[in-house]
Structure 1
Amino acid sequence: RNVPVELHLRHEDSDGERTSHVDAYNVLREVGVPQAGCVLHCFGEDRATMERFVELGCYIAYGGAATFKRNDDVREAFAATPLDRILFETDCPYMAPEPIRGLECEPAMISITANALVNDRVDRTGEDAKTIAQAAWENARKLFQK
């Protein structure tokens, strides 16, 4: 069946090297992004990494970890992600968003993540909050309502 591919790439491998994103990028560049779409699950990287994958046609999904205080680089990436490529997600049961970090994550918490990231993007770019949220909704519908 023609369904989107979700890539779950680790921030670092067991040796502390950041190779999974490089390897995935090289494979997608060689073989192409699947016609049904490709989503970088639980994106936790910087703007430059996001831009490389968006250039290939990938969607970038942001979860609760993007709200963690130490992840300003991820929020910067979200603020720069083209509206037609953003998604929100949960990584149940892991990575509940701030300010409820440490709880078992569940789908209902996606609204906390979305609100935090949308508001941060509005602060950075001056865009309209409703436009950002609507774009993420439309992207999810386009990808997953087939």
Structure 2
Amino acid sequence: MDLQTGLPDGRTETASSVELFDTHVHLYDEQFADDLDRVFSRMAQAGVARAMCVGYDVDSSEKAVAMTKSRTGIVAAVGVHPHDAGSVAADYLARLADLARHPRVAALGEIGLDYYRDLSPRPVQQQVFREQLALVRKLNIPVIIHVREAYGDLLDILRRDGISPAGGVMHCFSGSWEVAQQAMEMGFYISLAGPVTFKKALKLKEIAVRVPADRLLIETDCPFLAPEPFRGRRNEPAYVRYVAEHIAVLRDISLGELAQVTTANARRLFNLI
């Protein structure tokens, strides 16, 4: 991996001189089973100092918490994804609440609505989402939101139920600028992932420029959604540098400035300052 990055004025910046925070990873995924040590080595070489390991059900949330105990630089989020809403156990909220009390758990997520795949019935998705939002408010913890083709219902629920004062993030954002504005008004950060680097992702590039610096986060969502030039391959935390580079060019700032701002935002949101 080339560890030098071009800056707008033609200078270069080494990865060791920046500190990046990948705010959404799934490093417990079986796709990392054979080379996790090398993944962490490349992550460090790319200047990625921290990563948020996010659960999608109770079992994966337990794995995310376990990873915080064995790997430096990892914090965890626990929650039930809308795909898994239809199969929750009766005690899932109690189990999430117990996991959330671990000192390295910094958020609840990823939770939300997904009408693209509809792997759980929509009324069930909404019920489980609202139950977890109530837990977010009870624990006063940040929330990580997953939403796909369900922005209308999601925003309606958020307006009606609310989140905690700790705020939250719209992870792997794919909505419009109008939706981004509404989310930020509710206290959310906007996180951009690999798709912002895709040539035809003009809407995301516009959002990357327009989101205020103090509301911007970056992520990989690995092992999914690898950025250019790795599109179609397995994603990993080191590649968040390519997301950062691309956004820095769009905003006409240095990688160092983009890294400083987004890392400070992540540390603030997840109370890691």
TM interval, short-chain normalised = 0.7 to 0.9
Q: How many Å separate the matches in 1 of 2:140 and 2:223?
A: 27
1:37-116 paired onto structure 2 within 5 Å? 37-116=167-246
Partner of 1:139: 265
Q: How many Å separate the matches in 2 of 1:5 and 1:88?
A: 16
Q: Does 1:3 align with 2:129?
A: no
- Asked whether the equivalents of residues 64 and 96 of structure 1 are also in contact (C-alpha less than 8 Å), the reply is yes
1:20-39 paired onto structure 2 within 5 Å? 20-39=150-169
> SS state of the match for residue 183, structure 2?
helix
- Asked whether the equivalents of residues 244 and 258 of structure 2 are also in contact (C-alpha less than 8 Å), the reply is no
Shift of residue 139, structure 1, vs aligned partner: 0.6
Report the AA paired with residue 201 of structure 2. Answer: N
> SS state of the match for residue 147, structure 2?
coil
Shift of residue 3, structure 1, vs aligned partner: 2.8
Q: How many Å separate the matches in 1 of 2:251 and 2:176?
A: 15
* Alignment RMSD (CA, Å): 1.6
Larger Rg: 2
Shift of residue 5, structure 1, vs aligned partner: 0.8
Q: How many Å separate the matches in 1 of 2:147 and 2:160?
A: 18
Deviates more, 1:44-53 or 1:101-110: 44-53
> SS state of the match for residue 8, structure 1?
strand
TM-score, length basis structure 2:
0.46
Partner of 2:17: none
Report the AA paired with residue 59 of structure 1. Answer: Y
Aligned length: 133
TM-score, length basis structure 1:
0.83
- Asked whether the equivalents of residues 46 and 73 of structure 1 are also in contact (C-alpha less than 8 Å), the reply is yes
> SS state of the match for residue 34, structure 1?
coil
Unaligned runs of 5+ in 1: 13-19, 123-127
Shift of residue 84, structure 1, vs aligned partner: 1.1
Q: How many Å separate the matches in 1 of 2:162 and 2:214?
A: 19
Larger strand fraction of residues: 2
Q: How many Å separate the matches in 1 of 2:216 and 2:200?
A: 21
Q: How many Å separate the matches in 2 of 1:46 and 1:60?
A: 11
Report the AA paired with residue 40 of structure 1. Answer: M
Deviates more, 1:73-82 or 1:26-35: 26-35
Q: How many Å separate the matches in 2 of 1:64 and 1:90?
A: 6
Shift of residue 133, structure 1, vs aligned partner: 2.9
